[in-house]
Amino acid sequence: SPGTEWVSAAERPGGSLLTRQLQELWRRSRGTLAPQRLLFEVTNASVVSERSSKYVLYTIYLIRSGQFDKAPATIARRYSDFEQLNRRLRCRFSCDMASVAFPRKRLRRNFTAETIAKRSRAFEQFLSHLHSIDEIRRSPEFLEFFFLPDLQAAQRLTCTGMYREALATWANAYRLQDRLGVCSSGRFLLTLAGLAVCHQELDQLSEAHGCCEQALQLLEAQGSHPLLGPFLQAHVHLAWKVGKDKRHSEARLQDLREAGLPLQQQPSLKECLIKEPLD
């Protein structure tokens, strides 16, 4: 699918090697994104009471127009999350945002059925309007509003060995990035690494192999990349386990050896996943 320019943690001090290299890697594929129409539908709004606060949690499906999604991409966000997105986008895109409506905070009656229903429609319109503006649709502020919380949660779950829960979260992050058209970004490669690791830990070796194959197709043209060695080594191991052809990956690993890459010191996919800062 067409790429999009990804402004990553590389622009901030302390951006990791992975994100710095990825920024350059995908810069070439910028800007030609012809968006498929996306619909944003609030499917549920529930009042959550915690010890010190009470808020409404809105569940939103991202739906491709004219298609039936067997497994929808979903997010759950509260008013303050939308408010933060609105504020960040108005800081960066003040001209584009001038025509975008955002529902005002009310001093009271925030939890009536009428207010919640009105807000639900307003949030659907707000996200649709943002998605229709090219610069905003491709911005990390907009994109990460959707999938960064899932990536962070999936990383935490993977680190603590909760692979089944992590797998569901990586899978939702995959669907979100797919719907948003950013399947050539660095975050997407990290998502494929997460899926591969969790499938492998759960002994779903064919699925893990498929994730490595997809990542290596994205990395096909790259002579060097922080995730290339780890994905190749995982692919060779999994191909051997499931009886698939591993010669192409072995040849690419040999090329890396001859180029002087110390493959014995390469981190595993799981180590890459755990160490990558997701802020």
CA 71 to chain centre: 16
Which class would CATH give 38-138?
alpha beta
CB 185 within 8 A of CB 4: yes
CATH 3.30.1520.10 in the chain: give the residue spans: 38-138
CA 19 to chain centre: 14
The three-state DSSP-derived secondary structure of 249-267 is HHHHHHHHHHCCCCHHHCC
pLDDT beneath 70: ranges in the chain:
1-36, 222-223
For domain 147-275, the CATH architecture is Alpha Horseshoe (1.25)
CATH 1.25.40.10 in the chain: give the residue spans: 147-275
Q: Quote the pLDDT of residue 13.
A: 36
CB 74 within 8 A of CB 57: no
Handedness of CA 189, 139, 87, 44 (dihedral sign): negative
pLDDT, tens only, 228-262: 999 999 999 999 999 999 999 999 999 988 988 88
CB 41 within 8 A of CB 48: no
* Sheet containing strand 73-78, strands side by side: 38-49, 54-64, 73-78
CB 106 within 8 A of CB 122: no
Q: What is the largest CA-CA distance in the chain?
A: 68
Q: Compute φ and ψ for 268, nearest 5 degrees.
A: -75, 170
pLDDT, tens only, 35-76: 468 999 999 999 999 888 899 999 999 998 777 778 889 999
Q: If you average pLDDT over every residue of the chain, what do you get?
A: 87
Q: Quote the pLDDT of residue 223.
A: 63
